[in-house]
Chain A
Amino acid sequence: MSKLFEEAEAILELERTLNADDYKRFKEIGRQIPDNEERDFAWLSEGLYLRLPEIVKKEGNDNFLEEEDK
C-alpha cells in the first residue's frame, strides 16, 4: 500500500468526528491515488460516504462538499 493510501485509511479510521479538512484531504488523496489502488480506494470512499452526515453536522453546512457528494 502506498503512503497516500495509508493516509486515507487513517482518516477513515479516526474515532473523533471528522471535519471538512479531513474530507478535503481524503478527496485530494483520491485524485493522486495510483491506478493499482483505485478499486480499494473506492471502498474507502464507500466508508467516507457514511461519515458525510457527521461532517456536515459538525461544519453546519455542506458548502465544502465536492459536487459528486452533494
Chain B
Amino acid sequence: MATKQEILSKLAASHEQRISKVLFDLEEDIIAQLQRATDGVPLTTQLAIQLRPNLKTLIEQNYLKEGTKIISEYDEVVKSFMDFTRTIPDDLVSPKFKTLTKPDLVLINQLKQLSFSGFEDVANRFLDTIATEIYSSAVTGKPFPQVVENIRASVNGVYRRSNEAAVNRLVAIVEENRYSDDPIAKKKYLDARKILHSKYASDIRGENMRKYASQIAHDSIMQFDGQFTKHKGQEAGINTYKYTGTNITTTRQFCRGQLNEIKSEEEWRNVFTGNWRGKSGSDPFVNRGGYRCRHSLIPYNPAWDTIEEVQTKVQPKATNIKTSADAATNVSSLASPIKLDDVVPVTKAYLVNKLNKQFQKNKEDYVKYEDGRSPVRHRGTKRENYGNVRFANKRSKGRFYEWTEKDYGIIEAMMQELDDLAVKYGVPKLRSISPNAGSAVASMGDGKLNLNVKYLALEETASDLSLWKRGDDIKNRPFTADSYFTNKLDKIRSTYYHEFAHQIHQQKFVGTTSQYFSPKLEQDLIQLGGKWRNQGATRYSEKNAKEWFAENFTLYEMGKTELVDPNFITFLKEKVL
C-alpha cells in the first residue's frame, strides 16, 4: 500500500492537472456565452453588466465544482495518515492518535472549508477580472476578436515563462516605485501595474489567474495535510516531527540534509528561517522543501524507530519511486512548465527505460486493422518500432553532435508537457521517439517523434530573438516561432509543441484505419483554401496549411496569443476542440 507521502504527491499532481483542464473548458464556455449574448447586437455596458451573473454561474459550474470534488478527496489524506498511525503499538502512543475523534472530524471539516474559501477567492478574482474586461471593452468599443483574445488571456493567462522576463521587469518597477511620493515614480508604478493587468493578466506580484489556480490546488492539499497531522500530534501529546520521504536523484540538498531528522515544532520553524535552492514559503508543515516536494513532516516519537511496520509506512523503498511510471525526475506540465535551471540531468538509460514503458502502453491507444496490425502512414516508420525509444548522436559536416544528460532531462520534461497536450486535445499520447529525422530539425508521423540532435541539443539551440508584432511588415517576420523566445528551453519547447501540433492534425478524430490515412482535420485544413496566407507570425507558417497550424499552435500554447492568427483561434474552436 502506498505511503502517505506517495498518496499526497499523487493527489497534488492530479489536482493541479484537473484544475488546469477545467480552466480551458471555462475559457471556451465564457467565449461561447459572450458570442451568444452579442450575436447581432453590439456589446454595451448594460449587456456587460447583465452578463456578470452568467459568468458567475459558469465559474461556479466549472471551477468551483471541480474544486469541491478535489476537496472531497482530502479524505484520502486522512485515511493514509490513519493507516500509518495504526502501525504504532498501543502502548507507545495515545489512543487518540490512532482514532478519528470528534474534534478531528470538526477540524477536518473546518480545514476543508478553509480550502474551499481559497478556491472561492480565486473564483472571485476570475469573475472580477473577466467582468471588468468585458465592461471596459464595451466602454471603449473594442473589436470583438480583441475582447475574445483578452478574455482568453485573462482565464488561461499569458503565463508562460517566455513572458517572465517582461513580467519581472514590470514587477521590479512596481516594487521600486509603489511607496514613493514622487509623482514620476508614482506614474511609473501606475503604468507598470496597468501593463501587468492588461497585457499579462497578471497582478503586481507578477502572478496570474492560471498560476493562482494551480498553486491553490497544490498548496491547499499540502496545507490540509500539514495542519491535520500537526493537530493529531498535538492531540496525542507528541511534540516532535520527523521529516519523512525518500531520496531520489532530484531531491533538494535541503531535503537530503533534513531527511529522517526529528525536531520539535519550534526547531523546525527555526530551520525554515534559512534559505536554500528551490525554497518556497516559510511554513515547514505546508511548504516543506519547496514546490512539488515529496517530503512531509509527521508527528513522530523516536521510540517508533525500531518498529518495522511503522517504518514501511514512513519510509518507502526508493526504488518504488524511481521506477514508478508516473514518477518523474524532471516534473513538468502545461500548467507549470519546468524552467531550464530546474532541469536535472538524467541518464539515457533512465529515460529510455521510462519512456519505453510508457510508449508500450500508449501504442494501444491508436487505431489498428482488424488483424491487430497498426497502420503505417509516414516514411521511416516501422510498426515493430511502435512503443520504442531510440536516441542517437550524429556526425555532420565534420562535427560531432551529442545528447547530454541535461538534454535527456529536458526530453523527460517535454514528454510530460506533450502528454498534457494529448489529454487536452483528445489525441493519443506519443508512442515512439526516433533519431531518424534525416536533415530535418525534427518531424512527426504515426505518433513517432523524430529528433535531430544537431538542432535540438541545448548546446546547439539558436539564440536569435524577434520583436515582430502583428501589424508590422510581414517581410520582417522571423522564420520560425522559436525566434519569439529568449530562453533556450523555450526555444526547444517551441519545436516540441510544433511537432505535437502535427500529431493533432494526424490523429484527432481518427477512429478507423481509413481515417488514419486521411484525417478529418487535414481535410478541414485543406478546406481553408489558403485563408491562412500572409496571416501567420512566421515565414514558415506560409509554407502550407499544416505548418500554419503548427506554428500558430505553438505560439498559442506557449502564451504568445498576441501573435496568433485570429483565423487559427476560430479554426481551433470550430474544428479541433
Contacts and interface: CB of A to CB of B under 8 A. Distances in A.
B455 A49 contact: no
Interface in A37-70: 39-50, 52-53, 56, 62, 65, 68-70
Nearest to A26: B439
Interface stretch (B22-30, B190-198, B538-546, B559-567): B538-546
B462 to A, nearest CB: 6
A52 B379 contact: yes
A15 B365 CA distance: 33
Contacts, number: 73
Interface string A1-37: 0000000010011010000000000000010000000
B442 A46 contact: yes
Contacts of B443: 45-46, 49-50
Contacts of A9: 539, 543
Q: Is the interface of A mostly helix, strand, loop or mixed?
A: helix
B540 A70 contact: no
Contacts of B462: 39
Interface string B137-157: 000000000000000000000
Contacts of A52: 378-379
A50 B441 contact: no
Contacts of B547: 47
A42 to B, nearest CB: 4
B502 interface: yes
A46 B539 CA distance: 14
B94 to A, nearest CB: 66
A13 B440 contact: no
B418 to A, nearest CB: 16
B480 interface: yes
B101 to A, nearest CB: 63
Contacts of A15: 530, 544
Contacts of A53: 377-379
A63 B543 CA distance: 26
B89 interface: no
A42 B544 contact: no
A30 B397 CA distance: 13
Contacts of A48: 440
B529 to A, nearest CB: 10
B288 to A, nearest CB: 43
Contact of A65 (B379, B441, B540): B379
A61 to B, nearest CB: 12
Contacts of B284: none
B350 interface: no
B278 interface: no
A44 B547 CA distance: 10
B479 interface: yes
B457 to A, nearest CB: 13
Nearest to B480: A43
B295 to A, nearest CB: 43
B237 interface: no
A20 to B, nearest CB: 13
Interface string B362-388: 000000000000000111100000000
Q: Which 3 A-B pairs have the closest CB atoms?
A: A45-B440, A68-B438, A46-B440
Interface of B: 377-380, 436-443, 445, 450, 452, 454-455, 462, 479-480, 502, 530, 539-540, 542-544, 546-547
20 contacts: A9-B543, A12-B543, A13-B544, A41-B439, A42-B452, A43-B440, A43-B480, A43-B540, A45-B440, A45-B441, A46-B440, A47-B544, A49-B379, A49-B445, A49-B450, A65-B379, A68-B436, A68-B439, A69-B380, A69-B438
Given A47-B547, A50-B445, 6 more contacts: A13-B542, A39-B441, A41-B439, A42-B441, A45-B443, A49-B445
